Amino acid sequence: MNQEVVIEAKKLSLTFETNDGPVHALKDVDLTINKGDFVSFIGPSGCGKTTFLRVMADLEQPTGGEISVNGMTPEEARLKRAYGYVFQAAGLYPWRTIGGNIRLPLEIMGYSKAEQAMRVDEVLELVHLDGFAKKFPWQLSGGMQQRASIARALSFDADLMLMDEPFGALDEIVRDHLNEQLLELWAATNKTICFVTHSIPEAVYLSSKIVVMSPRPGRVTDVIESTLPRERPLDIRESQEFLDIAHRVREGLRAGHGDD
């Protein structure tokens, strides 16, 4: 299979200068992400997983090493709107309807009115929110709001989706449901997805590749290529294969904590 590289990081480091001295958020991170991968970043707080995502998005500047996004620098990629970013909170504008919120990036990017309307309908359908375009955010549940924010990130059809714990604030049942839908969406759109999470089952269930990270300094301790098939019913989580991968993730996390 022809593997097209989307993200390539070499010896990537990022040090924050704080009043209490330097904090090594990322240290010598090497990572390659191929087109169509679903990559989860997992690790305890402070391991730099969100920082890594933010570096890809050009929201933070690395202090050492190199990183390319679609063969460009993160800044060029951002200016070309090469990725959609989903934040931890839905962050919908309360004064805009759901449709209006999804339309916002399209308006900013200068799509025609007709194209805007078409794309809004399209992505609303993708996240199963058709018929909610005229509702205001407060009329939707937390899970639906997060789906709307995913639809917004999808609307301008970037190949790369960066998701920073998008389901972190939701309860288990809603989360399961959204995970299933996210896989469905991944299969339907064949996008490259980078997904930050705290949850081992979530990471194993979703990913084709799991990046285990450890804190102080933030670094990659293990990269696990998932052997699970792409088609994943929820009960795959009780299979031996699933548990084996989860076990390996847990081992990786524990190893990272050894030097605390």
Give the footprint of another protein on this chain (CB under 8 A).
57-59, 78-79, 81, 83-85, 87-89, 91, 93-97, 104-105, 107-109, 136, 138
Complex with another protein: residue 27 or 54, whichever CB lies closer:
54
Could you tell me the smallest distance in angstroms from the CB atom of residue 67 to another protein? 16
Minimal distance in Å, beta carbon 236 to another protein? Answer: 33
Closer Cβ to another protein, 21 or 94, answer by number: 94
Query: Cα 256–245–180 angle (5° rounding)?
Result: 110
- Residue closer to another protein by CB (options 24, 96) is 96
DSSP state of 72: B
What type of residue is 18? T
CB 133 within 8 A of CB 97: yes
- Nearer to another protein by Cβ, of 68 and 136: the residue is 136
Question: Where do the DSSP E strands lie in the chain?
Answer: 5-18, 21-34, 38-42, 64-69, 83-86, 160-164, 192-197, 209-214, 219-225
Pairing of strands 219-225, 209-214: antiparallel
Shortest CB 136 distance to another protein, Å = 4
CB of 18 to another protein, least distance (A): 17
Of 27 and 152, CB closest to another protein: 152
Shortest approach of another protein to residue 51 CB, angstroms?
13
Do the bridges between strand 83-86 and strand 160-164 make them parallel or antiparallel, or are there none, so unpaired?
parallel
